[in-house]
Amino acid sequence: MARFVLDFERPILDLEETIEGLRGLAGKGTIDVAEQIAELEAKASQLRSQVFADLGPYQRAQISRHPDRPYTLDYLAAEFEDFQELHGDRNFMDDPAIVGGFARFRGRRVMVIGHQKGRGTNDNIHRNFGMPRPEGYRKALRLMSLAERFNRPILCFIDTPGAYPGIGAEERGQAEAIAKNILVMSRLKVPILAIVIGEGGSGGALAIGVANRVLMLENAIYSVISPEGCASILWRDAAEAERAAEALRITAEDCVRLGAADAIVPEPLGGAHRDPASTMASVADAIAERLAEMDGLSGDELRDDRYDRFRSLGVLADVG
């Protein structure tokens, strides 16, 4: 399968392909190209550092959507044990764009809930490209209530362009489902930790994002609207997405500075898709650290902590 390459990654990939070609020649033993390989590797390393050290918000948005980034089920397979997926909202149907169930994390029983995008066309259609319908959020709510009943921490993996805006979803109460999740999550008396692993799109993300702690991967984004959607509204031209991304303050760095997120989990140079295993290990370490911070807090303290966190967002200025 052809590798997915972002425009600004192309010069790096061209060099890497040249290096692989030379290694193939060296392997045949017909030509000594060790010196040329060393020179090109040094050049590729320098180019990677230059390109990824100065990424703009829209470039980070593109990396956050990279189809080779690890998704929720990848994290569950790599860093969790005994995952038992639970299905259905007990009202309409199951929504594969949201996955969830009990699992064991480093010996501790937890509830894991997350958006799930697909791999390839058929799987993406099945997962609705990670855009949940109301039944997905109602399933998530059912699982959160179950976690509270059994006193299990809730871990939410956020990665969605946004809630699905189709006619059927609206008919079945998309806005009400999101609002109810926000309401109920604010009252739960168990630790809630959210991790934005890719796109954090609008209410579709916030519906499982009302947490005591919110972490973001280095190249993840969190925003009320996509850069393309914002550009289409403001300038009637989606091609202005880069301009919109600058204005929206969507990056992990911006979100931490503004208080929407609490900490950044670093990614390998080039993004999570370059080394998924180390990315998932870093996320697991960050989860363990944040869960430890909340150990010992009572249910009321956890609820009040969550309330205080969201009440403190934003800045009030007296302009006379």
Q: How many helices (H) and strands (E) does the chain have?
A: 14, 8
Look up the CATH number of the domain holding residue 261.
Answer: 3.90.226.10
- Are 38 and 74 in a shared domain? no
Hey, CA dihedral for 182, 188, 194, 198, is it positive or negative? negative
Hey, CA dihedral for 8, 9, 10, 15, is it positive or negative? positive
Q: What is the DSSP letter of 251?
A: B
Per the structure, the complete domain to which residue 218 belongs is given by: 61-311
- Are 97 and 170 in a shared domain? yes
Boundary residue ending a domain (15, 37, 54): 54
- Are 186 and 229 in a shared domain? yes
74 belongs to a structural domain: yes
- Are 148 and 204 in a shared domain? yes
2 belongs to a structural domain: no
1 belongs to a structural domain: no
Question: How does pLDDT run along the chain (320 residues), one tens digit per residue?
Answer: 456 777 777 777 777 777 676 666 666 666 666 677 677 777 767 777 777 777 889 999 999 999 999 999 999 999 999 999 999 999 999 999 999 999 999 999 999 999 999 998 999 999 999 999 999 999 999 999 999 999 999 999 999 999 999 999 999 999 999 999 999 999 999 999 999 999 999 899 999 999 999 999 999 999 999 899 999 999 999 889 999 999 999 999 999 999 999 999 999 988 899 899 999 999 999 999 999 999 989 999 999 999 999 988 877 777 76
287 belongs to a structural domain: yes
67 belongs to a structural domain: yes
Give the closest residue to 85 by CA, choosing from 119, 114, 106. 114
Q: What is the DSSP letter of 195?
A: E
Report CA-CA distances (Å) from 63 to 7, 56, 151, 244, 313.
11, 11, 36, 16, 27
Amino acid at position 111, single letter = M
Give the closest residue to 254 by CA, choosing from 219, 208, 204, 294. 219
Is 125 strand, coil or helix? helix
- Are 74 and 159 in a shared domain? yes
Report CA-CA distances (Å) from 207 to 13, 172, 210, 227, 243.
38, 16, 7, 20, 27
- Are 249 and 143 in a shared domain? yes
Domain count, the chain: 2
319 belongs to a structural domain: no
Q: What is the DSSP letter of 273?
A: G
Task: Give phi and psi for 29, each to the nearest 5.
Answer: 75, 15
